[in-house]
Chains A and B, each alone.
Chain A
Amino acid sequence: MNINLIKVFNESHDLLLNGLKMTVQITLLSLIIALVLGIFICLMNISPYRILKVIAKFYIWLIRGTPMLVQAFYFYFAVPQLIQAITGAPFRIDIFTAGVITLSMNAGAYIAEIFRGSIEAVNVGQMEAARSLGLSYGKSMQKIILPQAIRICLPSLVNQFIITLKDSTILYAIGLPEIMNQAKVYVGRTMQSFATYTWVAIFFLVIVTVLSFISKMVERRLNA
Chain B
Amino acid sequence: MADKREVKISVKGLKKSFGKLQVLKGIDTEIKAGEVICVIGPSGSGKSTFLRCLNRLEEATDGEILVDGESITAPKADVNKIRRHIGMVFQQFNLFPHYTAKENVMLAPVELKLKTKKEAEEKAIQLLNRVGLSDKADQKPRQLSGGQQQRVAIARALAMEPDIMLFDEPTSALDPEMVCEVLDVMRELAAEGMTMVVVTHEMGFAHDVADRVFFIDEGIIMEQGTPEEVMDNPKNERTQSFLSKVL
Q: What is the interface of chain A, defined by CB distance below 8 A to chain B?
A: 123, 125-126, 128-136, 139, 143-144, 147-148, 151
Contacts and interface: CB of A to CB of B under 8 A. Distances in A.
A130 B107 CA distance: 9
Contacts of B86: 132
State the main secondary structure of chain B at its contact with A. Answer: mixed
B90 A143 contact: no
B97 interface: yes
Interface string B71-94: 000000000110110111010101
A123 B83 contact: no
A128 B111 contact: no
A144 to B, nearest CB: 6
Contacts of B153: 129
Interface of B: 55, 57, 80-81, 83-84, 86-88, 90, 92, 94-98, 107-108, 111-112, 153, 156-157, 160
State the main secondary structure of chain A at its contact with B. Answer: helix
Contacts of A151: 98
A132 B111 contact: no
A139 B112 CA distance: 9
A134 B83 contact: yes
Given A128-B57, A147-B98, A135 B92 contact: no
B173 to A, nearest CB: 11
B158 to A, nearest CB: 11
A60 B80 CA distance: 34
B83 A148 contact: no
Given A129-B88, A131-B57, A123 B160 contact: no
